[in-house]
Amino acid sequence: MLSNFQDVDAIKLANLLQILLPAASKDLLESFAYRVLEAAVDIKMAAMEEKALYQAFWIKHSQKYDDQRMRTLAERLPQGDVLLCIFPGLERCDAQHGQITLLKIMLL
């Protein structure tokens, strides 16, 4: 759930994306903006609350789609190469137990 300030930021992001992607529908861009902003806030909160080490990772545009490490806004699973990585994935190492967890990267 986003706060009022985050709602305003999501709308600003959607408006910016509308300029960059004029053929995209406003509903799709708003949905995308909310999901990206919510993911960013969730990661920030998790990093502040837990005693864990985080390492960001990006997927290059020519790599094959891997549903273990990646997620997308598409209704169906993509096939083929990654075109654009829009949000980093995180590898989380629990400082107390040494357990490693992957938080999926987001693709467009």
pLDDT score of 18: 92
Q: What radius of gyration, in Å, describes the C-alpha atoms of the chain?
A: 15
More confident of the two residues 107 and 39: 39
pLDDT score of 106: 55
Taking residues 93-101, what's their average pLDDT?
68
Output the six-digit token pair for 79: 């096939």
More confident of the two residues 41 and 99: 41
* Domain chopping of the chain, boundaries: 1-49, 50-108
Contact 66, 46 (CB under 8 A): no
Own/partner long-range contacts of 33-40 (Cβ < 8 Å, ≥24 apart): 34/2, 34/10, 35/73, 35/106, 36/86, 36/87, 36/106, 37/2, 37/6, 37/9, 37/10, 37/13, 38/2, 38/6, 39/87, 39/106, 40/87
pLDDT digits (tens, 9 = 90+) for 82-92: 766 777 777 77
pLDDT reading at 105 higher than 70: no
pLDDT digits (tens, 9 = 90+) for 24-70: 999 988 988 888 888 888 878 877 776 667 777 777 777 777 777 77
pLDDT score of 23: 92
pLDDT reading at 19 higher than 70: yes
